């Protein structure tokens, strides 16, 4: 039976990535083989699992392996596995489209990369496994049959805009991928992927630990003079990897290179690990863990469908990837494997959720990861900087839920602060610099450092030289509200509540002045409270302003504008929270308004001035006006009068 050959188009993003691949000058082209073997190994793991769980799936799992064939004359290289295989729909879904979705983000990154980053970097960021074959091949053919199905699928592409796909009969179960190698652009045997020794070398370097045999036909040594041709020319099939699980070998026995390659295999990433953590628990409950902190956050870290990175093995047998029970959400960037001795091979996700032993493993792993980060923080400043830059935002999510490790997390966190333009500070550093008598850790949240620093709320703090933490990550909004203190010092937003920065003596001195001012301003304040009633719940005098006329402050438990925006962006409806307008009693606009109001209490123009005063306070904190057009008109009319 013949079937129709269908031609389909790659998705736009995929096409761009392929184009990058084809023209890539990525120097380590050898890694295409690592990617193919890694996929084959995953497919074998999946088949073994599925056969284990689905007894009706009639497949032979007694000889799972990966075969590599080279054909010097045809210039082809074939990698074949007898793993799970793919259905036709899966081929289209997994190979024809960028499996890792989040297309909007992919598009943005591609656009950015075109302008700046080298394509290699992009390749690294996406970890474009299967497509890497197009670095060395000008045509790739994939033949696959899914376990349990009778029809197979043949896919072929030259890496341009389209691929063909057809249904075929009579293919072995599993996947075979044939690369039609590009003509060698040098005579250099170093890049000749039809040389068995070259293949052996690549496998040794990148894929030695793969737990299935990688087999290849290797020609025997040259025949001896006069020997019987028939006998000596027999080609032998050799297993070219050692198949030793890396985590079972003593650490001193494994090279950094081997760890790196293993990291790439488990994490599907192309960067190098920043830190390697190995752990062995003995006693009643035995397990080994080999974990990695990447040096680059994968691009989907903040996407809903991101995965956690730790795989579960039981007695060397792969059980599942993305084992949620092993790592909390906020450590989702940690990759690696845990191999437990005493779990049943038959565990399901449902059972795992209840498993006490797994909970204990998680607890221990978390402590180990956090203490490792703490050690990096104290011993390796540069490394810590990279780590915090990539994963700080994720780690801070832990402050919200992991009460047990909250102190450890606070200790290893660092923040931007008014103390330095470019260096981050730890909380301990902040506490050390606190002024005599200062009891709280001051902070302000906002969208950018610049917006916070130029906000009116900062004025009094600047004037007094008090340090303020500048928190600009969305997650900061969440945790500062729920973490009560560090080292006995409470966190205090400078944009919330009353600020009281005076020492006791100053207080006594200013007390008299304040009472005086309050008396003077009573009328103005109550009039403004009424006329701005739509926007604010109260108008009062401020102690935090030195140069601005006014600012807006929240009550201690009010939502900040940023938090409000975050909630709205996530589709939640919130009632608008009315906040408080604070006035600077020494600013000419405020004193002028007081006098004008005293002289002409019924002047309608003063209501406009009040609106303008309120509007500028909103703008100064980076907020959004509820009616910008109205504000603009008031302002233009007013300016016209000054000319
Ligand atoms: P990744 O391995 O990071 O998911 P790849 O581009 O390497 O990305 O592969 C894409 C997907 O194609 C894999 O996740 C897998 O589902 C499927 N795939 C690739 N190679 C094979 C194979 N040999 N057998 C079965 N499925 C495969
Ligand atoms: Mg892959």
Question: How far apart are the C-alpha atoms of 469 and 452, rounded to whole Å?
Answer: 10
Q: Is the CB of 129 under 6 A from ligand 1?
A: yes
Q: How many domains does the chain divide into? A: 4
CA 183 from centroid of its chain's CA atoms: 39
Whether residue 381 lies inside any domain: the answer is yes
Which residue is closest in CA terms to ligand 1's atom 11?
Answer: 94
Q: Is the CB of 86 under 6 A from ligand 1?
A: yes
Supply 88's token pair.
């036709």
| Kind plus residue range of the DSSP H or E element containing 580 | strand 579-583
Contact indicator for 288, 247 with CB cutoff of 8 Å: yes
Which residue is closest in CA terms to ligand 1's atom 1?
Answer: 129
The per-residue pLDDT for 387 is 97
Are residues 296 and 171 both part of a single domain?
no
Q: What is the mean pLDDT of the chain?
A: 87
Q: How far is the CA of 293 from the centre of ligand 1 (A)?
A: 23
Q: Is the CB of 83 under 6 A from ligand 1?
A: yes
The per-residue pLDDT for 367 is 97
Are residues 334 and 199 both part of a single domain?
no
Whether residue 404 lies inside any domain: the answer is no
Supply 215's token pair.
């087999």
Whether residue 597 lies inside any domain: the answer is yes
Q: Which residues of 91-108 are buried (b: 16+ CB within 10 A; e: fewer)?
A: bbeebbebebebeeebee
Which residue is closest in CA terms to ligand 1's atom 5?
Answer: 129
Residues 6 or more apart in contact with residue 582 via CB below 8 angstroms = 539, 540, 541, 542, 544, 545, 550, 551, 552, 553
Q: How far apart are the first and last CA of the chain?
A: 88
pTM metric for this prediction:
0.78
Are residues 117 and 190 both part of a single domain?
yes
The per-residue pLDDT for 504 is 59
Residue 326 per-residue DSSP state: G
Q: Is the CB of 40 under 6 A from ligand 1?
A: yes
Query: Mutate which of 94, 152, 305 to test ligand 1's pocket (most atoms within 8 Å of Cβ)?
Result: 94
CA-to-CA dists, residue 418 to 438, 456, 476, 543, angstroms: 16, 14, 16, 20
Question: How far apart are the C-alpha atoms of 419 and 449, rounded to whole Å?
Answer: 13
Q: How far is the CA of 40 from the centre of ligand 1 (A)?
A: 8
What is the CATH classification number for the domain harbouring 76? 3.30.565.10
Whether residue 634 lies inside any domain: the answer is yes
Whether residue 505 lies inside any domain: the answer is no
Q: Is the CB of 130 under 6 A from ligand 1?
A: yes
Are residues 41 and 142 both part of a single domain?
yes
Supply 31's token pair.
């890694």
| Kind plus residue range of the DSSP H or E element containing 491 | strand 489-493
Are residues 214 and 253 both part of a single domain?
no
Question: How far apart are the C-alpha atoms of 499 and 493, rounded to whole Å?
Answer: 9
Last-in-domain residue among 493, 524, 552: 493
Contact indicator for 236, 218 with CB cutoff of 8 Å: yes
Whether residue 206 lies inside any domain: the answer is yes
Question: How far apart are the C-alpha atoms of 166 and 175, rounded to whole Å?
Answer: 15
What is the CATH classification number for the domain harbouring 546? 1.20.120.790
Q: How far is the CA of 268 from the centre of ligand 2 (A)?
A: 6
Are residues 148 and 265 both part of a single domain?
no
CA 509 from centroid of its chain's CA atoms: 52
Considering only CA atoms, give the Rg of the chain.
33
The per-residue pLDDT for 356 is 84
Question: How far apart are the C-alpha atoms of 234 and 218, rounded to whole Å?
Answer: 10
What is the CATH classification number for the domain harbouring 339? 3.30.230.80
Whether residue 169 lies inside any domain: the answer is yes
Are residues 92 and 177 both part of a single domain?
yes
Q: How far is the CA of 269 from the centre of ligand 1 (A)?
A: 13
Q: Which residues of 267-287 are buried (b: 16+ CB within 10 A; e: fewer)?
A: bbbbbbbbbbbbbebeeeeeb
The per-residue pLDDT for 311 is 92
Question: How far apart are the C-alpha atoms of 34 and 130, rounded to whole Å?
Answer: 10
4 vs 155, residue with greater confidence: 155
The per-residue pLDDT for 398 is 95
Are residues 130 and 40 both part of a single domain?
yes
Whether residue 127 lies inside any domain: the answer is yes
What is the CATH classification number for the domain harbouring 457? 3.40.50.11260
Contact indicator for 161, 10 with CB cutoff of 8 Å: yes
The per-residue pLDDT for 502 is 66
pLDDT single digits (tens) 479-538: 998 898 999 999 999 988 777 666 656 666 677 777 888 888 999 999 999 999 999 999
pLDDT single digits (tens) 259-284: 999 999 898 888 899 999 999 998 87
Last-in-domain residue among 212, 239, 266: 239
Are residues 378 and 489 both part of a single domain?
no
pLDDT single digits (tens) 185-244: 666 666 789 999 999 999 998 899 899 999 999 877 665 665 555 555 577 899 999 999
- Residue range 20-46: mean pLDDT, rounded: 85
Asked which of 140-154, 306-320, 541-555 is least confident by mean pLDDT, the reply is 306-320
Indicate whether 437 pLDDT > 60. Answer: yes
- Residue range 10-22: mean pLDDT, rounded: 79
Residues 6 or more apart in contact with residue 56 via CB below 8 angstroms = none
Q: How far is the CA of 314 from the centre of ligand 1 (A)?
A: 23
Are residues 255 and 181 both part of a single domain?
no
184 vs 120, residue with greater confidence: 184
Are residues 194 and 57 both part of a single domain?
yes
Range of the domain at 475: 414-493
Confidence of residue 119 (pLDDT cuts 50, 70, 90): low
pLDDT single digits (tens) 405-427: 999 999 999 999 999 999 999 99
Q: Is the CB of 597 under 6 A from ligand 1?
A: no
Indicate whether 117 pLDDT > 60. Answer: no
Last-in-domain residue among 207, 239, 271: 239
Are residues 347 and 473 both part of a single domain?
no
Asked which of 50-64, 102-116, 119-133, 388-402 is least confident by mean pLDDT, the reply is 102-116
Q: How far is the CA of 160 from the centre of ligand 2 (A)?
A: 20
């Amino acid at each position: 039976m013949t079937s129709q050959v269908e031609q389909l188009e790659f998705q736009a993003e995929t096409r761009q990535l392929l184009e990058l691949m084809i023209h890539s000058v990525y120097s380590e082209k050898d890694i295409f083989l690592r990617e193919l073997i890694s996929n084959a190994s995953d497919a074998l793991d999946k088949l073994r699992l599925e056969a284990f769980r689905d007894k009706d799936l009639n497949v032979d799992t007694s000889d799972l392996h990966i075969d590599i064939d080279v054909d010097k004359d045809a210039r082809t290289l074939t990698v074949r596995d007898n793993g799970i295989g793919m259905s036709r729909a899966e081929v289209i879904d997994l190979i024809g489209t960028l499996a890792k979705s989040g297309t909007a983000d992919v598009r943005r990154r591609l656009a950015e990369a075109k302008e700046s980053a080298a394509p290699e970097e992009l390749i690294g960021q996406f970890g474009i496994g299967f497509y890497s074959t197009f670095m060395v091949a000008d045509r790739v053919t994939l033949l696959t049959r899914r376990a349990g199905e009778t029809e197979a699928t043949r896919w072929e592409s030259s890496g341009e805009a389209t691929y063909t796909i057809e249904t075929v009969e009579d293919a072995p179960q599993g996947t075979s991928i044939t690369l039609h190698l590009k003509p060698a652009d040098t005579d250099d045997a170093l890049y000749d992927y039809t040389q068995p020794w070259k293949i052996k070398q690549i496998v040794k370097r990148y894929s030695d630990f793969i737990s299935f045999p990688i087999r290849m036909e290797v020609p025997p040594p040259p025949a001896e003079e006069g020997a019987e041709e028939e006998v000596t020319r027999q080609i032998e099939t050799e297993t070219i990897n050692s198949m030793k699980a890396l985590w079972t070998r003593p650490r001193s026995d494994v090279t950094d290179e081997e760890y790196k390659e293993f990291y790439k295999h488990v994490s599907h990433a192309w960067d190098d690990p920043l830190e390697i953590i190995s752990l062995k628990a003995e006693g009643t409950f035995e397990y080994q863990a080999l974990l990695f902190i990447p040096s680059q956050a994968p691009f989907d870290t903040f996407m809903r469908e991101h995965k956690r990175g730790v795989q579960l093995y039981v007695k060397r047998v792969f059980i599942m990837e993305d084992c949620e029970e092993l790592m909390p959400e906020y450590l989702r960037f940690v990759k690696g494997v845990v191999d437990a001795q005493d779990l049943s091979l038959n565990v399901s996700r449902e059972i795992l959720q209840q498993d006490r032993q797994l909970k204990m493993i998680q607890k221990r792993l978390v402590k180990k990861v956090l203490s490792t980060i703490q050690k990096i923080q104290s011993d390796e400043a540069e490394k810590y900087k990279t780590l915090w830059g990539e994963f700080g935002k994720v780690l801070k999510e832990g402050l919200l839920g992991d009460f047990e490790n909250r102190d450890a997390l606070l200790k290893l966190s660092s923040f931007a602060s008014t103390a330095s333009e470019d260096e981050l500070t730890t909380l301990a550093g902040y506490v050390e610099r606190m002024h005599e008598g200062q009891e709280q850790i001051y902070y302000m949240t906002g969208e950018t450092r610049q917006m916070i620093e130029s906000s009116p709320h900062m004025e009094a703090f600047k004037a007094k030289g008090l340090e303020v933490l500048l928190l600009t990550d969305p997650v900061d909004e969440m945790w500062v509200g729920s973490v009560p203190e560090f080292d006995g010092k409470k966190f205090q937003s400078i944009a919330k509540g009353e600020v009281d920065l005076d020492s006791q003596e100053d207080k006594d001195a200013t007390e008299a002045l304040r009472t005086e001012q309050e008396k003077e301003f009573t009328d103005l304040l109550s009039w403004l409270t009424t006329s701005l009633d739509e926007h604010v719940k109260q108008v009062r005098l401020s102690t935090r302003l030195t140069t601005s006329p006014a600012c807006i402050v929240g009550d201690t438990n009010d939502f900040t504008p940023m938090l409000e925006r975050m909630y709205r962006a996530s589709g939640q409806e919130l009632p608008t929270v009315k906040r408080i307008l604070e006035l600077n009693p020494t600013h000419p606009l405020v004193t002028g308004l007081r006098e004008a109001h005293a002289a002409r209490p019924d002047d309608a123009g003063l209501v406009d001035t009040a609106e303008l005063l309120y509007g500028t306070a909103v703008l100064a904190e980076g907020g959004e006006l509820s009616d910008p057009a109205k504000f603009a008109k008031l302002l233009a009319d007013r300016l016209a009068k000054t000319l």
